[in-house]
Amino acid sequence: MSSLSKNNKIADQHIYLDKNQLLEIEQKIRIQRHVERYALLRQFAKGVVCDAACGCGYGSYLLSTNPDVTSVIGLDSNSDIIDFANKEYRGDKTQFFNVNINEWITDKEIDMLFSVETIEHIEDQDILPNFCDRNNINHVILTYPSKKTTHYNPYHLYDFNLQDIFNIFNKFTCYRHFNWEYEFDVVFLIRNP
């Protein structure tokens, strides 16, 4: 047996993690998955994109790296996180605003709304469709967890299925849908003529 095996807790083929190590690894996985979602969705972005509930701005920035994107407007109701987004990710193609999404009206045409793992956090299910109506947004790409999460995530108010999304966005038609590795659903919606 090598000295390495004698001196660590993996010698018997079991992994020993204390709680802090476990929680740190879980947090890194969660962050990586959120970054992966935006990296995956970036290929579908074009024109002027609105990133609803943009958080600290990393997703908006990733969307902006697609050459088909003219600009990204990141919106969030948390002023501290928008301050961070403006310091870290504001650029020629990205801008961030601290707004109430229930009231905000754009001053320029928005081609697409991206809503990444947001809808399950919003109590009033009409907020995003009303936002689209108020801002004349005809194209929406949204994601939501494809498995039950409300039983362990206190910030998730709903567990959605595809029909729920169709019911919420009843003025839109789904033209594409896929599930990503049993983690989340991606729904592409376009406004009915």
pLDDT confidence bin for 12, thresholds 50/70/90: low
Phi, psi of 25 (to 5 degrees): -65, -45
CB atoms within 10 A of CB 154: 7
Residue 70 has pLDDT above 50, yes or no: yes
Which residue ranges form the domains of the chain, and what is each CATH number? 16-191 (3.40.50.150)
- Determine the Cα–Cα distance for residues 38 and 66; give it in Å rounded to an integer: 11
Structure tokens at 157: 């108010």
- pTM of the predicted model as reported, rounded to 2 decimal places: 0.87
- Determine the Cα–Cα distance for residues 65 and 94; give it in Å rounded to an integer: 10
Q: For residue 174, what are the β-bridge partners?
A: 189
For residue 14, the model assigns a pLDDT of 83
pLDDT, average across residues 104-128? 95
Phi, psi of 172 (to 5 degrees): -120, 160
Three-state SS for 74? strand
- Determine the Cα–Cα distance for residues 145 and 184; give it in Å rounded to an integer: 4
pLDDT, average across residues 121-137? 96
134-176 residue pLDDT tens: 999 999 999 999 889 889 889 898 999 999 999 999 999 999 9
